[in-house]
Structures are given as C-alpha cells and as structure tokens.
Structure 1
Amino acid sequence: MEKPQYIDWIVEETGIVIKDDIPLKCYKIDYKDDESILDDWALHIRRNYIEDTELKEDADDNAMTIEQYLYDYVIPQKGEELGATVRSADITEILISDLLEFVHQYSVPRYKLKNRSGKNNSQQGTDVIAYKYKNEDKTSNDKDELVAAEVKATLSNTEYTPIKNAIIDSRKDEHRLARSVNYCRKRLKELGKIEEAEEVKRFLFKPDNNYRITYVAAGVSSRENVDDAIELDFSGEELEIRKNELIFYVHGKKLMELAHNIYQRCCK
C-alpha cells in the first residue's frame, strides 16, 4: 500500500519500560488538526476495506452511489450495534499494520477487512501477520522472519490495560498461527494477490523451511503522555516474556474521538 501521510505523526519514545525493566517499543500519535492529512488517513483506512478498482463496480451493481454503498455495506458506523467497537478494533489493527510496514519495513498482507460477510463482523485468528525476507530475490533463508501481532485497544480511556491483555493473548498465537497463515494465503489468492500469496506460502512449513518467528504484543490507549516506568497488574507466569516477543504501546490523546473523526471521512 502507499504510505499514508499520518505516519509522520507517529513519534517513537525511547527509554520507556514496564515492570522489572522489560523494554517497550513506545510510540505517540502526535496528531494535528490538518484536514488534508486526516482525509488522506481516511482514504487509507477505506482502502483497507475495499480497493479503488472494486468500489465503483460494487456500488453500480447495487444501484447505489459510492457514498451510500460505503455507508451501508463497507464502513462501520458509530450508531450501529457494535459499530464503535469494530471501528476501534479495525483502526488499531490497521495502525499496527502500518507501523510494521512503514516504520519497521515488513511486508504486511491486507486481507482481513476485505469482503467481510458483514461490516461489523470481525475475523478470528492472529490480528496482524507480517513477514520479511532476508534475500532481495525472496529465496528462502533461515533468517527470514514471520511476525504474529496480537492487538488490544481501549481508545475511550487512558489505561495501560491493553498492554497486559495483548501480552497474555499473544500466547494464543503459538497455537493458531499456522491456521492464520494458511487463511491469509487463501484469502490473498481469492483477492487476486497471487504473488503475495506465494510469498506467504513460504511460511507454512517451518520444520522443512526454517525461519524466525517474532511475536508482537501491541496495546493502544488514549494517554497523552506516559510514565517512564509503566506499572501493570502482573504476577507470576503472566509476566513471563518470551525471548522472541516484542511489546508495543501506541498512545495519543482522545483516540476514540480521533477514530470517529477519521471514519466520518471514509464514506466520501
């Protein structure tokens, strides 16, 4: 995907840790009241749901304007049952996908939000899958990397709880990752993204085609500023961080209000 302009609003904050000096990759969304960047962000969000090439044809097939088709069939709406919850979940998964792709230079398949059976129906499985090939020609190398990210968000409050919840639920990815990768491959083929599907296929067979797996636990909430040492209500095994696990925290002021502002622009 094209790099959205809002990425320049994401500022990394170094030196932030959680309990027992566990390192944290911390980022602040330092956004401004810039109409053009907010509109560009909304367009980027919309393209995660439906491609430009499909939109007019789908609207015409349903005898609707593009705006009405997006409103009725594609974009979660604030006043609908689960609409606000789905907006929160979707925008944060897109945010972490963008962070991995445009800041950390991974390839991130965009498949989960496209052609859902209902616009407020969430897809099960690993929240975000990303990968990186060691070789430029994308031949297999044991330093190739697969990323499985668990994303948790509470955009309507300032708690650190999503970090804890993401760490705990990230452990599920060890059991569901293979199924999620296979589903990703099949969905990409259905969407006509054949080359991308072949790239993902490389990560189906770890015993025969070795690569590294990195688990990412990503929490997002609406804090304008964070503490240098974040206290979480952890104990015992809950606090055990795997050596191949990274913890992300993304924060910013009034993120639910920001999400609604952006989503209102998605039906243009």
Structure 2
Amino acid sequence: MPPHINWLKDTGERRLSACGREIEIWKFNPEGDEAILSEWATHFRQHYCVDSDLAAMAAGTGKSHADFLQTILFPDAKTSPGPSLRSGDFGEILVADFIQFILGYWCPRQLRYQDRWNRQGSTQGSDIVGIRYVHPQGDHANDELFVVESKSGLSATDKNRLQDAVTDSMKDHLREAMTLNAMKQRLLVRGQAVEASWIQRFQNESDRPFKRVNGAAAVLDVDVYATTNLEETNTTGHQNEDNLRLLVIRGPSLMKLVHALYERAANEA
C-alpha cells in the first residue's frame, strides 16, 4: 500500500441524499513528510509513463525527463483546459487508490492515462473500473465489477460535483462494454494476456453472471465542501440505484497540492 493512503481517513460522518441514499464522507489530510510525498509523486507519475519507459520516450526530443513530462505528457498547469484536467486526473487517481487499497479491488487504471495522445484532452469511457473475485479460480455470480464516476471540485464552484458524478454514472451502462473492450485491447497489446482474461470475464453477463456495482465520487476542497448541499444529490432514475455507492473525499488546499504533486513528479523523474 502506498504510504499516502494513510492520509485518507473515514470521518464516520454520513449524509443522506434527497432520495435517501447514504453518502460516505472521507477526509484526505496530506502531511509534509518528504519521503511519503516523493513516493506518492512516483506512484502518480507511473499513471502517465512507467519509469522504465521514460528514457526511451524522451529520447530524441531534446528535452530532459522533467521537461518531457511537463510539456508532452502532463496537462498544462496554466493553459485551459489543463488545470481542470489536472484536477480531474488527480481526483480519479485518488478515488482509484481508495478503491484498490482500501476496498480491495483490482483497479487497472494506469492504461487510461498512458494511452492519452493529447495531454490537453480528456480520456473517453468510464472513469474507474474495479474488479473483485470471490474465488481465485472459476466464475462466481458474486464476482464484482465496480464502475465509478469521479468528479473534482478543487476551486470555487456553485455546482454539486457529487450530483455531476451521479449524472455521468447514469451513462455507464452504455459505456461499460466499450470501456472493457478498450482495457482488454490495451492489455493484449502489452502482452498481458492473463490480465486481459480478467477483463474478459465481465464481457458477457448473460452467459457468465456477475454482480455490478456503480459508484459516484466527488473529491472536494474543504471550501467547496462547506458550500455544497450534498443532501440535494438525487440518484432517481439510475439503472443500478440499488447497488450505487456515493462517496465524498474532502481535503485542504487541494488545487495547490495538485500542482505541487505534478511538479515533484516531473522534477524527481
């Protein structure tokens, strides 16, 4: 488990949505531990380019590793839509960390960012996919496919970002097949046939039944959290409302943290 996960804590607080669904409230309080921040930056960087590939990727560009990451791979720090993409990527990666290291799902998320050809463009498909098996060998009807939509609110906004996540989650039943296909294709191209078969297990529900869980998550700066009426969130009309998990992660000065994390991830490469 990456050590920065220890900064993510369950507050024990629960809210109720307008339709009576429970909203979990977690807090994320990073500390100034240089060793942990460095490990976190490495973990974060791997989502865009594994370190073993970085030298070859930067070769021929005339750029240092840091410059290559900052100008070719990472969303721009200032030019729109770069800051909002940074915010969104940060939130997705943090929620994926939560799903993998706290809830215990397999969450193959790096492929989502490593295949992004335009650093100033968002990736299509469902945000986060988690997989969990009942048994190591053989199918079980309670094997889980967890599909999560994540939204970030790291600067002042009058939007309910949890509602935005719920609304986008309603589209996941249409995007699921394409997302799984893209994930399997990327794994096969990389020679990861075993991992591709783990994805394949969830591509034909009629012949191989499984449990589908959906999630809507909002990563919010504490100031945005304070002005968001989470109780107005409404999941009515969601195709999988009975298996829908609502999550909020709040933390202080998160946009400042995001830029610092990208800077460290580049400079320590």
TM-score under structure 1 normalisation? 0.90
Deviation at 1:121, TM superposition (A): 1.6
Q: Distance in 1 between matches of 2:185 and 2:85?
A: 24
Q: Distance in 2 between matches of 1:146 and 1:96?
A: 16
Q: What does 1:115-134 align with in structure 2 at a 5 Å threshold?
A: 115-134=115-134
Q: Distance in 1 between matches of 2:189 and 2:60?
A: 20
Q: Distance in 1 between matches of 2:258 and 2:83?
A: 9
CA gap 1:159/1:250 in 2 versus in 1, 3 angstroms: farther
Structure 2 match to 1:169: 168
Structure 2 match to 1:185: 184
Q: Distance in 2 between matches of 1:74 and 1:191?
A: 19
Structure 2 match to 1:10: 8
**For the Cα contact (< 8 Å) 1:164–1:232, is it kept in 2?**
no
Q: Number of residues paired by the alignment?
A: 264
Q: Distance in 1 between matches of 2:202 and 2:2?
A: 28
Q: Distance in 2 between matches of 1:101 and 1:234?
A: 25
Q: What does 1:144-223 align with in structure 2 at a 5 Å threshold?
A: 144-157=143-156, 161-223=160-222
**Aligned partner letter, 1:221:** L
TM-score under structure 2 normalisation? 0.90
CA gap 1:22/1:191 in 2 versus in 1, 3 angstroms: same
Any idea what SS the aligned residue of 1:50 has? coil
**Aligned partner letter, 2:117:** S
Any idea what SS the aligned residue of 1:198 has? helix
Structure 1 match to 2:71: 72
TM-align CA RMSD: 2.4
Q: Give CA-to-partner distance per residue, 1:130-185, whole Å, 9 cap, x none.
A: 11011023x21111000110111111137671111111221111121111111111
Q: Distance in 1 between matches of 2:38 and 2:214?
A: 32
Any idea what SS the aligned residue of 2:232 has? coil
Deviation at 1:80, TM superposition (A): 2.7
Structure 1 match to 2:46: 47
Structure 2 match to 1:245: 244
Deviation at 1:76, TM superposition (A): 1.8
